[in-house]
A and B are shown apart, each in its own frame.
Chain A
Amino acid sequence: MLILTFDNTFEGFLSVVFTCYAEKLIPHDILPTNHFQEKLFAEVRHIDTNIVHTERVWAGLQKKLNRRAKEMPYRIFLSEMPEAYIRLYKYIRRVFDTNAYVDSDWGDPHVMELRKLDREVTREAMRMLQFIRFEKTKDNIYFAPIEPRHNVIPLIINHFKSRFSDQQWLIYDLKRDYGIFFDLKKVEEITLNNKQFDEIRGRLNTNVVMENESTYQRLWKNYFQSINIKERCNKKLQRQHMPQRFWKFLPEK
Chain B
Amino acid sequence: MNDKLAQKLKILADAAKYDVSCSSSGSKRKNSGGLGNGVAAGICHSFTEDGRCVSLLKILMTNHCIYDCAYCVNRQSNDRPRAAFTVDELVELTIGFYRRNYIEGLFLSSGVRKNPDFTMEQLMLVAKKLRTEQRYNGYIHLKAIPGASPELIRMAGLYADRLSVNIEIPTNNQLQRLAPEKNHQSVMLPMNQINKGIIQNKEERKKFRRTPLFTPAGQSTQLIVGASPESDQQILHLASGLYQAQHLKRVYYSGYLPVNDYDQRLPALPEPPLVREHRLYQSDWLMRFYGYQAGEIVTQSHPNLDLEIDPKLSYALRNMHIFPIDINKADYEMILRIPGVGVQSAQRIVAARRHRRLNSHHLKKLGVVMKRARYFITCNELPAYLRDISSETLRRHLILESKSKYRKSADTQLSLFSQNFAVSVQH
Contacts and interface: CB of A to CB of B under 8 A. Distances in A.
A252 interface: yes
A226 B102 CA distance: 15
B36 interface: yes
A166 B35 contact: yes
B13 to A, nearest CB: 4
B257 A166 contact: no
B290 to A, nearest CB: 20
A106 B348 contact: yes
A237 B257 CA distance: 20
B390 to A, nearest CB: 34
A52 interface: no
Given A130-B45, A166-B35, A237 B51 contact: yes
Interface in B67-110: 93, 96-97, 99-102
Top 3 A-B pairs, shortest CB-CB distance: A237-B51, A106-B352, A234-B51
A108 B355 contact: yes
Interface of B: 2, 5-6, 9-10, 13-14, 16-18, 30-31, 33-37, 39, 43-54, 57-59, 93, 96-97, 99-102, 135, 257, 272, 274, 348-349, 351-356, 358, 362, 365-366
A136 B97 CA distance: 12
A238 B44 CA distance: 12
Contact of A133 (B57, B96, B100, B353): B100
B278 to A, nearest CB: 11
A2 B145 CA distance: 71
B50 A229 contact: yes
Given A216-B97, A227-B16, A238-B47, 14 more contacts: A104-B355, A107-B353, A107-B358, A107-B362, A129-B39, A130-B44, A130-B46, A133-B101, A134-B99, A219-B5, A226-B9, A227-B17, A227-B54, A237-B50
A129 B351 contact: no
> Which bracket fits the contact residues of A?
35 or more
Interface string A116-128: 0000000000100
Nearest to B366: A106
B58 A227 contact: yes
22 contacts: A100-B355, A104-B354, A106-B348, A112-B366, A129-B43, A130-B43, A130-B45, A134-B99, A136-B99, A163-B31, A219-B6, A220-B100, A226-B13, A227-B17, A228-B17, A229-B18, A229-B52, A232-B257, A232-B274, A234-B50, A237-B50, A238-B48
